[in-house]
Structure 1
């Protein structure tokens, strides 16, 4: 979750005037934290997951499912479960109460489809929406390829009655066009944060888990529909990336640098750009744009090269929100300016220093997962990643490959049915660092060049379940680890059920949520095979999702059958 300060938000013009102040004091705040707890060891594993939900209202009489705008009012008493599927974000009448978009310059988003009333009521979000647009100099542009069904127009081209010309210039043929932050940040996610025993262990976990991000994203794929259309992607990642892309035309390389300092290769919501551990250094093959003055300041203050360039890269960005009451802070005891920049670099992994004057340790956040329909599925993905961190540290596993290959994997992971059709670069020998010390990297991993023989293309089935003579598989490794642990019967049964879900999703025996939703729509009697999700289809889909989430109906093609213990015996039901 991002920094949720309270106060009076400033306009982009006023925020921009304080940008250097925020960067300067953000670095000072980081240095105070580093000096205070950089050498701290022996923090224990703690982890917490974050689940984002939507509040949906069903109109059974008219067969409509709409996004409720009353979430802020009921949050303090909300005990019920929410749903993953968006209720046709951006389609006419998708909210209740119904609100009409007003694409005017004075609004937050200026969107043709997404009313400002649908933006979260916390001032951070409307301010982010407005300031991203103002900093960029135009609305954000999101183009998602349409899924070409047999009756889908070819080419598929949209026109927009209320457009002032900006949408017409931005839209691509055979793509679904969106133009507001809400289309990205309105997609729910599942994230998990781990506390490491030390800063070195946190950096090691950060690097190793970064290579796993595209694999788990494809495994958890749950976002195939946008603005009432069936699209040709299964994951939300690229949509969110575009929805908060505040880079100017100069920073995107479309115009010569004149008013801006840098060419920036990615949106501030994207995959990581550098490994942090010594064993990851030789795999840093992506050009890294950094603030050289900040880098030199950090190095002068004793920060090592890898961590200094990571922070100096994050701080090429401007603050997007600033509250009048939070401009002048006590840098020794507060970290809001650091977190302002840190928390708006939304990357696949986040390296998180401890808050000032707290007993919280160095942490890493795993961020690529799509939220699922049921608590059981969400738990399965979280527990899978938690267990993976334990075997990485216990067995000193090494998943590292060139970071450019991880970026390629991220692109593949978002494609339709990537879990069954995609091929991913993955390291062949993951036990190479077996003699490494707990906080470091083994001698075999040091060096200046990478070897293309270290990695190869694998299917997700091979990566997760293994293939004889090719790769041992992550699930067998986890099972081996669990066999040596003292775990009570109930806990072991729960873990077995979780791993069974992951195993069968990877093999294709069970569907991802994205694939299940596609098949539900394709088989709906009202679907005309034209890629359009009507109000009736949307209602039926989300009502079915609700019934599955509430365990009112079974869905074995999505969830499979659970394992239970009866005495010392295992049975399936």
Structure 2
């Protein structure tokens, strides 16, 4: 989860004093990195995935599923048994926001050969087995995006009560501070977001209206001091803490490009794919023990870290703040970075003008300069006393402080100072899946897509405002089958930066990027193709595979993964969100009142656990995959 500095964290009042200092030196650090590596070429294509896991106890006696708050101890054990004694250990383990969460990655990045695709699932399986081997009896490791009863009474082991009226970090009515990772960064972020905002975060998710759901659905909160009553919307599930978003799990992929230009090109092209893959991976229909009317966590996590004040959100005139900021710091990207993308930059971009001019003066082009100047309108949220004064030539903590707390669908990542690592992009919108097979399938699909984008010079670009509209649609219930998404019709036309990146495109919307370039399509059309409309991504990937030298095993594995994506897109297989909804709807204890009880949750989590361990098949979710794991 970004930069993990050690030391003494400063509270918001203290942090605020150093905000300009950190921004100033963060920019100096970025310029230094840029000047050293801007001309770097021919880095090999490397990539890796990140899988986030929840630690869960299945209490068969009481028939309850609880989240186990011992992630810190589990992490220490895994690191002591792995990377601390063997730098080439095949898995790496890192902390995550929840004290019931850990994150696993491959020990070394994957390389550029096709045969690497045949090792992804095996490495994911190794991670699951490794972490599972150090758990206590009755505990299990699960890859679910959102725990259905997160924030309900007794959802943790050991049980802790929230502390809304006492001195605490989140002051949540539902989420106890003990469920936050003990590393000071996480509690400090939580407290400082609340203090900077001037109130608790507000998360309102529309409730799914079933036959016996109260209408209007209105909750009462006994320990409320009035803040929840003001914030909670009727017919919505209300949540009030960072943990409701950052306490969910996701699946991410990072790619190293061969140069800065290739990284910028991939960043732009993949940004348009983010909502499509998010809808395809939808896996989070339940919040705080209720059935919601959304299938993805994105809007929840966006609201959970929204530190904007009322002035910045446009609710009050600007007086104490500098900018009107249109999005949370966790949201979709706001500008393309390549010359090809410039004419499609039709979203109003708030930037720090002084920083923008400073970057232009340092020789950085307009598109990259405005991207950085936009990230730097934010304040640093987690400041450590020991990290205030740094060597700007050889360190990048001040830059990373702001870079790593702008959580967007795509992240553009400069190389760390004095390292062998190249320019990278991170693909961030995917929801984690139940099994290693599914997670490997989504990762391989996205990585293979990057190869095809680069090989065929594909162009998926559409106006960025349309990508934002797609992001909203992607989160809706059953968007994978019912949603319509703006998508480019001719992706082979390619981009000519000389023509498309000209001065006429400086302001984005004035240039000729009319609606004839894109149209509304279903995900089935985008993924599988439709004659006369769009050829489909899977047929293009298959064409690419046919022209590559790939061994039989690897080819079979890849085709198996693509078959899953294809069938999820067509509706032949369910998304995780749809499958979970159907499980709850058919449960004998469900009263058609939108409530996920302890018993329903226990039965659902028990079934998920058996499926993930391969003890039970689930053809509705992933068919009957042929196992080619090495």
Residue number in structure 2 paired with 1:168: 229
Q: 1:302 aligns with which of 354, 360, 363?
A: 363
Figure out how many residues of one structure are paired with residues of the other and give that number.
560
Residue number in structure 1 paired with 2:562: 499
Shift of 1:87: 4.9
Cα deviations across residues 461-497 of structure 1 (Å, max 9, x unaligned)? 0000000111000000000001111111111111011
1:351–1:363 Cα contact (<8 Å) kept: yes
1:198–1:362 Cα contact (<8 Å) kept: yes
Quote the Cα distance in structure 2 between the aligned partners of 1:236 and 1:269.
12
Quote the Cα distance in structure 2 between the aligned partners of 1:252 and 1:426.
30
Quote the Cα distance in structure 1 between the aligned partners of 2:529 and 2:26.
45
Change (3 A) 1:445 1:26: closer
2:202–2:240 Cα contact (<8 Å) kept: yes
Quote the Cα distance in structure 2 between the aligned partners of 1:305 and 1:83.
41
Residue number in structure 1 paired with 2:99: none
Shift of 1:105: 5.7
Question: What is the DSSP-based 3-state SS (H/G/I as helix, E as strand, rest coil) of the residue aligned with 1:194?
Answer: strand
Give the structure-1-normalised TM-score. 0.96
Shift of 1:452: 1.1
1:28-47 to 2 correspondences below 5 Å:
28-47=28-47
Shift of 1:564: 6.9
1:337 equivalenced with 2:414 (yes/no): no
Question: What is the DSSP-based 3-state SS (H/G/I as helix, E as strand, rest coil) of the residue aligned with 1:66?
Answer: strand
2:148–2:290 Cα contact (<8 Å) kept: no
1:6 equivalenced with 2:6 (yes/no): yes
Residue number in structure 1 paired with 2:616: 553
1:259 equivalenced with 2:320 (yes/no): yes
Quote the Cα distance in structure 2 between the aligned partners of 1:249 and 1:209.
32
Q: 1:79 aligns with which of 131, 135, 138?
A: 131
Quote the Cα distance in structure 1 between the aligned partners of 2:143 and 2:273.
26
Question: What is the DSSP-based 3-state SS (H/G/I as helix, E as strand, rest coil) of the residue aligned with 1:52?
Answer: strand
Cα deviations across residues 92-111 of structure 1 (Å, max 9, x unaligned)? 00000000001036210010
Give the structure-2-normalised TM-score. 0.88
Q: 1:187 aligns with which of 241, 248, 264?
A: 248
Shift of 1:2: 1.0
Cα deviations across residues 491-535 of structure 1 (Å, max 9, x unaligned)? 111101100000000000000000000000000010000000000
Question: What is the DSSP-based 3-state SS (H/G/I as helix, E as strand, rest coil) of the residue aligned with 1:211?
Answer: helix
Cα deviations across residues 272-295 of structure 1 (Å, max 9, x unaligned)? 000000000000000000000000
Quote the Cα distance in structure 1 between the aligned partners of 2:501 and 2:212.
54
1:386 equivalenced with 2:438 (yes/no): no
1:314–1:345 Cα contact (<8 Å) kept: yes
Residue number in structure 2 paired with 1:568: none
2:12–2:381 Cα contact (<8 Å) kept: yes
1:189–1:369 Cα contact (<8 Å) kept: yes
1:514 equivalenced with 2:577 (yes/no): yes
Question: What is the DSSP-based 3-state SS (H/G/I as helix, E as strand, rest coil) of the residue aligned with 1:62?
Answer: coil
1:325-474 to 2 correspondences below 5 Å:
325-433=386-494, 441=497, 443=499, 448-474=511-537
2:148–2:287 Cα contact (<8 Å) kept: no
Q: CA RMSD in A?
A: 1.2
Name which of structure 1's ranges 72-81 and 485-494 shifts more when overlaid on structure 2.
Answer: 72-81
Q: 1:479 aligns with which of 539, 542, 547?
A: 542
Q: 2:329 aligns with which of 268, 286, 308?
A: 268
